[in-house]
Structure 1
Amino acid sequence: MIINPVAGLGGRVGLKGSDGAEIQHQALELGGRSESFERTLQALRKLSQISDSLELFTYPGEMGEAAVREAGLNPVVLGAIQTGYTTPEDTVRAAEDMAARQVDLILFAGGDGTARNIYSAIGQSIPVLGIPAGVKMHSGVYAVNPEAAGQAIVQFLTNTLSETRETEVMDLDEEAYRQGRVSARLYGYMQVPANRKCIQNVKVRSQSESATLMGISQDVVNNMEPNRIYIIGPGTTTRSIMERLGLDNTLIGVDVVRNGELVASDASERRLWELIKDQPATVIVTAIGGQGHIFGRGNQQLSPRILKQLGRENIQIVATKDKLLAIPGKTLLVDTGDSQLNQSLSGFTKVVTGFMESTMCRVSA
């Protein structure tokens, strides 16, 4: 078990990632916090049923030991760290130390940068599984949510579903990402449990037709209500709505409009809360191509408190038919970090797919 304790630090505050000491410092100054500890706990609690037959290695303190012990498990602690100052090199060293013990699987919490670090240390020599805790998780090594990670581990280690498959390790250029350019790179492949239900696909970039996007944006704009706040989530599908309104768009951020005017650009979670806590509001989001997530991947500004304040009835989903057809099981996914909220968002919901066109899709935790 390896935790990247700074994973996801920049998500809520709109920094599009957490790579690098400067960005981490900036995120902390803005009030950002990592959720890797809590999300790891959610996964580890699933392991209690096999704890008697489990030998679990981890690194000290915030890199795993604290969460493992909080989950009621007794780890073998390896290595040493400088508390509060962990680095990617610590992650690499931890993976190498565990590989030297010939472990059956490495479970780690982080984002795409963490997956790259693990890959650089072990390649395909040991199966891995990621607990999604970062800002961007385009790689196919992550479970759909923390609980699914724990479930997949139990099935893998008890030979219920012990085969593996090869999947991609992807990462974005964060600096380009912050400037609105999506520049993804394939770094290699790792082995993960062959559990299609619990593990996400690699993200697929949208190839939507412009005419379809024009129809979606026209439908959404036609139905916008006066004096209501509209939070426009990231993505090329939602960008078409901003273009229809003639407003500047943050492709990989969250923008806010009201009465056809831009209220906030690239808003943080704190800014969103200030805007909606006393005002009627709707959030418009699209699904991640190839994965199906509508919350919990690249839009962490839409936090549990924001979504609870909005309510399920004020969540609008837009997507082309081609995108929906390419999602495994045609099921949209939610991974907000709040299990109760995930369940409340589950069920069938309307998705706008064109001008005066919609379809019903299942949303699942």
Structure 2
Amino acid sequence: MSGINHPQLCRGDRSAILPAIREQLIRAGSTFPGIAPADVADPENFDDHIDAAVRAFQQDRGLLVDGIVGPQTMGGLESAHWRLGDRIVRFVPAHELVGDDVRTLQTRLQSLGMLDGQIDGAFGAQTDAALRELQRDLGLDPDGVCGPETLRGVSRLGRAVTGGNPFALHERARVASSGKSLAGRVVAIEVGGLDERTGSGLVEIDVTSDIARRLEGRLTAVGVASVMTTFTAGESGSSDGEVANRIDADMFLSIRADSHPNPTASGFATFYYGRAHHSSDVSPVGHALADFIQREVVARTDLLDCRSHPRTWEVLRTVRMPAVQISTGYLTNPGDSRRLADPAFRDTMAEAILIGIQRLYLPEEDDHTTGTLKIDDVLNYRP
């Protein structure tokens, strides 16, 4: 199914590719009844069984749980297809290999103390360097190709690192040792959204751009260099954070707004890289930053608390620093849209985001109760 554009599918649809999707779900570990093509009378029908299995798969993979088999879910199914040893994997800069086989290799390299990067299932430069180091230690040609000979060597090795996830430990240590002041840090801000007017009269990209500019001004005031880019698209999580990686930013923020066919949907949410119930597949600092921003915005506004959630969206996976996607509210909800149309409300949100960023760098003994830290306090942390 890879490399082919397929229409989005959901419950009630019929498609000739649904039998293949059923097989992919089974290979990904689905144990729901009525999934196997041989067990149903009409395997090309997107029935309730497939809907339940797709939603469970999306939940496990850190995808949006909507029961729709679109590009993100199809990509997840393709990744889940691969087991370590099914194919030869290596670093291809123009087209990174992605799959569960790469994730397994990364987990093994991390357990051996050779990879302190994020386990994300993408064969990037860090994985390549770690694999070559392993090959040298095994007395093999350090060609960066994970083939049968390298796999045999890996299978003979035991676990070298104990006491926690090395990536998580290193990520936390970098934050703890960097000091309390925000001055001198670099924040990459991606403004995302549709350039279309919603029923409320608001345009997503206009709302998110304005909030980002207000945040940018406050960051500048406390000594933070910020770089802002605009990404206009229809699907959440489809950006790659290339600019953030190029400038080696300290953190990456993606600011979006939500819409929903049901006008009662409302609230503020944040997202960080991770998969639910998979402690090794998470950015701990991204999680902490998302929580701080979430708590500060909810405390300083009357937006519904939709909490922070792990996701494996490309925009969160491909950046090399802690990343958070901020969902500012629902433009299709009368209450949220009324608030987001108010410049004073946008100011409040921008300030709350800044305070959330500051709290990430405060040691526990210097932290403040949610909703009480002020801009003047942030300025006082400057050297």
Q: TM-score, normalised by structure 2?
A: 0.28
Q: TM-score, normalised by structure 1?
A: 0.29
Higher strand share: 1
